[in-house]
Amino acid sequence: MNYSDSERVAKILEQSGFTKTENSKNVDLFIINTCSVKQKAENKAIGKIKKYKKDNPNSVIAVTGCMIRQTGDRATSKDQLLKHDFIDIVFRIEDTAKLPKILESHFIDHDFSDFRNKFGNGSIENYFHIVPKVDNIFQVFVPIMQGCDKFCSYCIVPFTRGREISRPIEEVFVECDQLVENGAKEITLLGQNVNSYTDGGTSSEEKCFSKLLEKIDTLHEKGLSRLRFSSPHPQDFTDDVIETLVKMKTSCPHIHLPVQHGADSMLKKMNRNYTTEKYEGIIRKIRKAIPNCLITTDIIVGFPSESEEEFQVLCDFAEKMKFSFAFTSIYSHRKNTPAEKMTDEFIEDVVKKERFHIFDDIVKKHAFVQREEFVGKKLEVLVEKSSPSKDGLFAHTGRSREALEVWFESGRPLKGKEIDVKITKAQNYVLSGVLPDGTKKIPII
């Protein structure tokens, strides 16, 4: 989501006369897009920002993302981040359209007259209307909703991003259509709860998310090959979505469905509003409808009060579910969340770390076996990066439709191409392979 937000911020800046630089010295303006999902992420961001200002004392530092509550600068905002004297401007991401106006008093030699009001006032609608500056035209991200109404007890997002707001289907479709016209092969639809999408919030009908998938799938005729979405919530993962995925030409045999824990008592404490039985039922239906579909998830270990027994239930659950990957976090308390107040039940760091390693080993065991099973098979890889290698060859990395990372070599750069690769080796999470005829010659595409 932050990556996608940054593309919109970049576009506004570019249109206002700024130029992107890869250099972190002699920079006029830094924009730091922050994440506040963990306290550690916030601390890290503050450390980096401080260093940018130290290395570039004359630069203007603007901060956006989940850490911001009130847009403005010292003259107009009381946001707590402005207590740091190395931060000059803060803006909520939905206020991105206001950026030229806010920057004006910090760049008095820069002419903002054409841009001051060009992008409208800060609102989520204006934000959605900004055409992003896309770095990789082949793989693009499209936000379809913002915010969250779920209030998991460990999470700050509902307080930072606000309530759920969806974009109208037509608007999302037009953006996707344009991106496919420009060469997009893979689109990832984004939202904090992507499948609780409600078509602009105006529709009382059900099945809005599957209707959106169905509509964007029609772009297959124009060249769209893969449609993904992140992240769905188990509570809203309805059967019609699975039925639609089966019919679509652009769906991929990979679903990321965060579960967070394998013990119902923990899910209740996390305020996740579903049971492991419900989660298992969804996965069973997905695997039946889409054979060989790989499932990845998010897990928190060491949540307050997690007992040895509950942790064991989580481990047994992972053995049963056979995830092909899990983003596993060690619980760390997040200020201003209900879980922060469960201090009496906090788990010792050393225990949390130990549980993390035990759990990670279980996930790896199944994930590596799954990858071994692909050796000798052919996977379609969308190349994300091609770099010169030895003997005049190029080394490529990309992802298969199953979202598996694949490495191979051939005689010319292939970024953005979908190439069949015969898998010859699985090493940990990465697969390597060769062109299907076993050579490294240039494939004719």
For ligand SF4, which is the closer residue by CB, 233 or 399? 233
Distance, CA of 120 to CA of 97 (rounded, Å): 6
For ligand SF4, which is the closer residue by CB, 72 or 302? 302
CB of 349 to ligand SF4, least distance (A): 22
CB of 326 to ligand SF4, least distance (A): 15
In this structure, the strands spanning 325-330 and 378-388 are: unpaired
Q: How far apart are the first and last CA of the chain?
A: 33
Determine the 3-state secondary structure of 154 from DSSP: coil
CB of 37 to ligand SF4, least distance (A): 8
| Contact status: 192 vs ligand SF4 (CB under 6 A) | yes
For ligand SF4, which is the closer residue by CB, 235 or 265? 235
- Give the binding range for ligand SF4 (CB under 6 A) out of 116-124, 136-144, 145-153, 183-191: 145-153
For ligand SF4, which is the closer residue by CB, 150 or 285? 150
| Contact status: 333 vs ligand SF4 (CB under 6 A) | no
Q: For residue 77, which of 60, 95, 59 has the smallest C-alpha distance?
A: 95
For ligand SF4, which is the closer residue by CB, 158 or 411? 158
- Give the binding range for ligand SF4 (CB under 6 A) out of 153-161, 323-331, 343-351, 377-385: 153-161
CB of 336 to ligand SF4, least distance (A): 13
Structure-block tokens of residue 216: 């964007």
Exactly one of 150, 207, 322, 333 binds ligand SF4 (CB under 6 A); which one? 150
Distance, CA of 140 to CA of 226 (rounded, Å): 11
CB of 298 to ligand SF4, least distance (A): 8
Q: For residue 262, which of 232, 226, 228, 299 has the smallest C-alpha distance?
A: 299
Contacts of 225 (CB under 8 A, 6+ apart): 185, 186, 250, 382, 418
- In residues, how long is the chain? 445
378 phi/psi in degrees, rounded to 5: -105, 130
CB of 407 to ligand SF4, least distance (A): 32
For ligand SF4, which is the closer residue by CB, 116 or 150? 150
Region 220-249 residues binding ligand SF4, contact defined as CB under 6 A: 233
Angle of the 208-217 helix axis to the 169-181 helix axis, nearest 10: 30
The CA radius of gyration of the chain, in Å to the nearest whole number, is 23
CB of 286 to ligand SF4, least distance (A): 19
- Nearest-5° angle of CA 266, CA 270, CA 271? 115
Residue 31: half-sphere exposure toward Cβ, Cα within 13 Å: 27
CB of 150 to ligand SF4, least distance (A): 4
CB of 338 within 8 A of CB of 271? Answer: yes
Binding track over 155-174 against ligand SF4, x by CB under 6 A: x-xx----------------
DSSP 8-state secondary structure symbol assigned to residue 263:
-
For ligand SF4, which is the closer residue by CB, 33 or 400? 33
For ligand SF4, which is the closer residue by CB, 150 or 215? 150
Find out whether the peptide bond into 231 is cis, omega within 30 degrees of 0.
Answer: yes
| Contact status: 103 vs ligand SF4 (CB under 6 A) | no
Q: What is the binding site for ligand SF4 (CB under 6 A)?
A: 148, 150-152, 155, 157-158, 192-193, 233
